[in-house]
Amino acid sequence: MTVRVKGGRGGRPVAGLLALAAGGSLLAGCASMPDSGSVNSVDSSQRADADAQVRVYGVPPRKNEQPLELVAGFLEATTSDDPDYDTARMYLAKAVKRQWDPSASTIVLDRTPQVRVERVGGDREQAYTVTLTGKQIAVVDAKHAYKPDERDYKAQLHLARENGEWRIDALDPGLVLGASEFQRIYRSVNKYYFAELGSGGGGDRARDVLVADPVYLRKRIDPVTSTVKALLDGPTTWLDPVAGTAFPTGTRVEDHRLSLDDSNALKVRLNERAAGANQEQCLRMAAQLLYTVQESAKVTDVTLQRKDGSRLCALGKEQAKYYAPDQTSGRPDRQYFVDGQRRIVSLADGDEQPRRVAGPLGADGPVQWRSVAVDRSERRAAAVSANGQSLYVTSLQSGAALGDARLNVQGGTPAKAGLTAPSWDGLGDLWVADQDQERPRLLRLAGGTGTPEEVRVPGLDGGRITGLRVSADGVRIALLVTKGDHTVLKLGRVERQGSAGRPSLSVQELRSVAPRLEEVNAVSWAGASRLLVAGSEQGGLQQLQYIETDGSQTNGSGLPGITSVRGVAAPETPGKAQTLVAEGEGGIVRLQPDTNWKLVGKEGSAPVYPG
């Protein structure tokens, strides 16, 4: 059923609504505006839909529509669920109707743009210039990648008469949307690609490690097909240097529309570029598809076909676990921290009280501890001494020896703060930073026991690393960077060059993923493309929130309040209810699903999950 609603002063028809939920309706309005002079806000956000069954469609321009009303109608039409923006194109002159590319980019403003119309020349000049202004907060590029980008926004459209009617005959490619409309129209999806770890990096399974690549796609426009096509477009620009695809270059979907069958299986017919793939390559392609489509639908298996419909390969959900994105994350249900006696303790989800770990890190001895990192197999751990000067790596087994320090640095004073808390990637390598203000360094110990090697980090701009958490896939690293009196959160891309015997590592293209937080106190990975962050905006109180690795904020990201957070920990395994742990003002507190924060360790510090 299609419903057209009249609303606003002047009775301008606004978006029609298709597929209304049974017994329900949605009223929307868009006020008409004068045709010159003042600044106005074009706002269609009241059509926000809490019900995914509601689909919103724009309406064509009316006869004799004036310039400002025409621009309002055009902007309204760009927020509709029209797959190819055919209605929006009706507002454009013939010369630009097909040239305009709405997919080139999406500018996200804090609210819908303000519009000013100015006549060009005298009264006889049949043209207008329309200026759109607002406060930009982000941009989504042609590959659907979201990037925070705060600046003043200004753009112009040009209107001229065509067959007696006003039409837009010059405009920039792409879309401009208010934040509320963007959230209504788009959804965040993780595409999956294989990590490229260089020669000898990560062992035998390294080539099968999947990395999440978050993008934003339209919610209601054929979600399965749009997700598959986005995957075939390849990794986003930022991730591309460290991730690759099993699909041959130029692979495309042959079918116009993809959907799951009654058993939730997906068949995808590919063009001739994929016809020559061998069985191993085909299974890797199917794994990428299965885990990417899982973001949109509960797919049970994927079958890839040649252009003529013959089968290339099939991959079921159970078989696909070999390639699971969380295969390097471990299956953590246990948290670790430093207790009041400076020993390492653990706490399982079902435990009420922490217990000292087996081995030298939990036993009384000459060395006390500041921080700990447990590898993802939970067989060994790395710990930094209480003075911050020494890093030890040892087994979590009774009777194990502590051994000699793997790394010694100068530290223990405010000017030279020693080593940060270490972090293990899912490939078995250990990462730590030396906070020495004279010579700050990021270091990696291959296999956890290798000689510490310095990792170059261009782009620190005079800051130093005061905290780090490396992802399970080993190609992304979250860094707390301190410069002066402020600490900010950056995400870096780990690039590997050289040979297995002479590796060369660097962290490239640092990007801000929490630009609105003036001070960040703690960070933890909390999923394939999600971080748990404790920080505060300028002049604001500290908050604990989830933030996506592309800098966007997840829906419902607010968490129960807690004060003076100095450390946080969340499991990196996706798809499970998360138990969170934090170091607060009174010690270690834990937040289990559907409960409030509960104190589990007085005077404790440095909470972590394996990793």
pLDDT digits (tens, 9 = 90+) for 156-181: 999 999 999 999 999 999 999 999 99
pLDDT of residue 412: 61
pLDDT of residue 331: 74
Of the three residues 260, 293, 323, the one that is the final residue of a domain is 323
pLDDT of residue 27: 28
pLDDT of residue 22: 31
8 Å CB contact between 148 and 138: yes
**Could you tell me if residue 194 is inside a domain?**
no
Cα(98)–Cα(91) distance, integer angstroms: 12
Residue 400 has pLDDT above 80, yes or no: yes
**Could you tell me if residue 356 is inside a domain?**
yes
pLDDT category of residue 611 using cuts at 50, 70 and 90 = very high
- Both 471 and 414 in a single domain? yes
pLDDT of residue 373: 98
Instruction: Round the average pLDDT of the chain to a whole number and report it.
Output: 88
Residue 324 has pLDDT above 50, yes or no: yes
Amino acid at 285: M
CB neighbour class for 114 (10 Å; exposed up to 12, middle 13-18, buried from 19) = middle
Lowest-confidence range among 16-30, 177-191, 278-292, 583-597?
16-30
Rg (CA), the chain: 27
Place of tokens 């009420």: 352
Q: Which residues of 119-153 are buried (b: 16+ CB within 10 A; e: fewer)?
A: eeeeeeeeebebebbbebbbbbbebbbbbbeeeeb
**Could you tell me if residue 422 is inside a domain?**
yes
- Both 339 and 470 in a single domain? yes
Of the three residues 280, 301, 323, the one that is the final residue of a domain is 323
Residue 203 has pLDDT above 70, yes or no: no
Lowest-confidence range among 20-29, 70-79, 227-236, 443-452?
20-29
* Overall average pLDDT of the 174-201 stretch: 91
CATH number at residue 347: 2.120.10.30
Structure tokens at 355: 């217990």
Domain total of the chain? 3
- Both 182 and 227 in a single domain? no
pLDDT category of residue 121 using cuts at 50, 70 and 90 = low
Structure tokens at 121: 């020349």
Give per-residue pLDDT as tens, 224-251: 999 999 999 999 999 999 999 999 999 9
Cα(69)–Cα(88) distance, integer angstroms: 13
**Could you tell me if residue 448 is inside a domain?**
yes
Distance of CA 575 to the CA centre of its chain: 15
Higher pLDDT, residue 38 or 170: 170
- Both 573 and 439 in a single domain? yes
Residue 327 has pLDDT above 70, yes or no: yes
The Cβ of residue 556 has, within 10 Å, a number of other Cβ atoms equal to 7
pLDDT category of residue 413 using cuts at 50, 70 and 90 = low
- Both 384 and 502 in a single domain? yes
pLDDT of residue 577: 74
Amino acid at 338: V
Task: Provide the CB-side half-sphere exposure for 585 (13 A, CA).
Answer: 5
Cα(58)–Cα(62) distance, integer angstroms: 12
Give per-residue pLDDT as tens, 259-299: 999 999 999 999 999 999 999 999 999 999 999 999 888 89
Structure tokens at 24: 């329900």
Task: Provide the CB-side half-sphere exposure for 482 (13 A, CA).
Answer: 17
- Both 6 and 124 in a single domain? yes
The pairing of beta strand 407-408 with beta strand 605-608: unpaired
pLDDT of residue 408: 96
Cα(402)–Cα(383) distance, integer angstroms: 10
8 Å CB contact between 474 and 429: yes
Residue 31 has pLDDT above 50, yes or no: no
Residue 551 has pLDDT above 60, yes or no: yes
Residue 35 has pLDDT above 90, yes or no: no
Cβ neighbours of residue 318 under 8 Å, at least 6 residues apart? none
- Both 497 and 383 in a single domain? yes
Lowest-confidence range among 64-73, 82-91, 408-417, 474-483?
408-417
pLDDT category of residue 125 using cuts at 50, 70 and 90 = low
Share of the chain above pLDDT 70, in %: 87
8 Å CB contact between 556 and 529: no
Structure tokens at 299: 């797919």
Amino acid at 284: R
Q: Phi and psi of 60, rounded to 5°?
A: -65, 165
- Both 208 and 174 in a single domain? no
Residue 119 has pLDDT above 60, yes or no: yes
Of the three residues 323, 356, 384, the one that is the final residue of a domain is 323
Higher pLDDT, residue 282 or 562: 282
Residue 16 has pLDDT above 50, yes or no: no
Cα(311)–Cα(282) distance, integer angstroms: 10
Residue 110 has pLDDT above 70, yes or no: yes
pLDDT of residue 578: 84
Q: Rounded to the nearest 10 degrees, what angle do helices 279-293 and 223-232 cross at? A: 130
- Both 80 and 223 in a single domain? no
DSSP H or E stretch at residue 403: none
pLDDT of residue 83: 92
Task: Provide the CB-side half-sphere exposure for 74 (13 A, CA).
Answer: 30
Share of the chain above pLDDT 90, in %: 75
Higher pLDDT, residue 299 or 34: 299
- Both 483 and 553 in a single domain? yes
Place of tokens 């469609």: 57
DSSP state for residue 64 in the 8-state scheme: T
User: The pTM is what?
Assistant: 0.89
Lowest-confidence range among 56-60, 170-174, 408-412, 484-488?
408-412
**Could you tell me if residue 146 is inside a domain?**
yes
pLDDT of residue 90: 97
**Could you tell me if residue 255 is inside a domain?**
yes
Amino acid at 94: K
**Could you tell me if residue 97 is inside a domain?**
yes
Residue 130 has pLDDT above 70, yes or no: yes
pLDDT of residue 539: 87
- Both 87 and 205 in a single domain? no
* Overall average pLDDT of the 458-468 stretch: 95
- Both 214 and 363 in a single domain? no
pLDDT of residue 470: 98
In the three-class reduction of DSSP (H, G, I as helix; E, B as strand; rest coil), residue 98 is classed as coil
* Overall average pLDDT of the 531-545 stretch: 93
* Overall average pLDDT of the 11-28 stretch: 34
The pairing of beta strand 106-109 with beta strand 127-140: antiparallel
**Could you tell me if residue 439 is inside a domain?**
yes
Cα(572)–Cα(472) distance, integer angstroms: 8
Residues of the domain holding 542: 334-608
pLDDT of residue 372: 98
Cα(283)–Cα(154) distance, integer angstroms: 47
pLDDT of residue 579: 92
8 Å CB contact between 59 and 37: no
CB neighbour class for 470 (10 Å; exposed up to 12, middle 13-18, buried from 19) = buried
